[in-house]
Amino acid sequence: MKFSIYHWMKNVLQKHFWLSVLIFVVLFFFVSVFIIYYFERDLNSELTIIESFRIVLALFLGEYGDAQQTDVGKFISVMVFILGIVTLATLVGRIAALFVELKMEVKMPKDLEKHIVICNWHSNADRIVKELHSPLAAPEKDILVITEAEINETELRMSPEYEKVFFIRSDPTLHVVLKRAQVQQAESVIILSDHENSDPDAKAALISLAITKLYQNMPQKPRIVAEISNPHKVHHLMDAGVDEWVCAADYGLGIIAQAALFGKLSDVYQQLLTYSEETNEIYLLNSDKYPQWFQGKKFEELAEILIKGRSVKNPTILVGIKREAQVLLNPKEDEFDQLKPDDSLVVMAFDPPDLNYL
**Nearest Cα residue to 283 out of 194, 345, 205, 197:** 345
* Percent residues over pLDDT 90 in the chain: 33
Looking up residue 294, the CATH number of its domain turns out to be 3.30.70
Encode pLDDT of 91-123 as tens digits: 888 787 667 655 555 667 777 889 999 999 998
Residue 168's SS3 state is: strand
**Nearest Cα residue to 190 out of 138, 255, 252, 150:** 138
Q: Is the pLDDT of residue 141 over 60?
A: yes
Tell me, yes or no, whether 199 and 161 share the same domain: yes
Q: What is the mean pLDDT of the chain?
A: 86
Tell me, yes or no, whether 84 and 126 share the same domain: no
Structural domain boundaries, residue 312: 280-357
pLDDT of residue 5: 65
On the CB side of 353, CA atoms within 13 Å amount to 30
CA angle 138, 177, 167 (to 5 degrees): 45
Answer whether residue 268 is part of any domain. Answer: no
Report how far residue 203's alpha carbon sits from residue 209's, in angstroms, rounded to the nearest whole number.
10
Least confident of 4-18, 126-140, 197-211: 4-18
Distances from the Cα of 226 to the Cαs of 120, 127, 177, 259, in angstroms?
Answer: 11, 16, 18, 26
Tell me, yes or no, whether 333 and 290 share the same domain: yes
Residue 267's SS3 state is: helix
What is the gyration radius of the CA atoms in the chain, in angstroms? 30
* Strands 143-147, 165-169: pairing kind: parallel
Q: What is the DSSP string of 214-228?
A: HTTTSS---EEEEE-
Domain boundary among 83, 104, 125: 104
Give the CA-trace dihedral at 213, 217, 223, 228, to 10 degrees.
Answer: 20
pTM greater than 0.75: no
* Percent residues over pLDDT 70 in the chain: 92
pLDDT of residue 9: 67
Q: Is the pLDDT of residue 6 over 70?
A: no
Encode pLDDT of 287-339 as tens digits: 999 999 999 999 999 999 999 999 889 999 999 999 988 999 999 988 999 99
Mean pLDDT of 237-266: 86
Q: Which amino acid is at 190?
A: I
Tell me, yes or no, whether 231 and 128 share the same domain: yes
Confidence category of residue 80, pLDDT binned at 50, 70, 90: confident
Mean pLDDT of 207-234: 85
Tell me, yes or no, whether 292 and 220 share the same domain: no
pLDDT of residue 18: 76
Tell me, yes or no, whether 41 and 67 share the same domain: yes
Mean pLDDT of 39-47: 82
Mean pLDDT of 205-231: 86
Question: Residue 346 — φ and ψ, nearest 5°?
Answer: -100, 115
Answer whether residue 212 is part of any domain. Answer: yes
Answer whether residue 10 is part of any domain. Answer: yes
Helix locations, the chain, DSSP H? 2-15, 17-40, 49-60, 71-104, 125-132, 153-156, 175-180, 200-214, 234-239, 248-261, 265-272, 299-308
Bridge partner list, 37: none
Looking up residue 18, the CATH number of its domain turns out to be 1.10.287.70
Question: Residue 251 — φ and ψ, nearest 5°?
Answer: -65, -40
Tell me, yes or no, whether 242 and 138 share the same domain: yes
Looking up residue 155, the CATH number of its domain turns out to be 3.40.50.720
Confidence category of residue 1, pLDDT binned at 50, 70, 90: very low
62: left (phi over 0), alpha (psi -120 to 50) or beta: left
Tell me, yes or no, whether 121 and 226 share the same domain: yes
Tell me, yes or no, whether 145 and 205 share the same domain: yes
Confidence category of residue 278, pLDDT binned at 50, 70, 90: confident
The total number of structural domains that make up the chain: 3
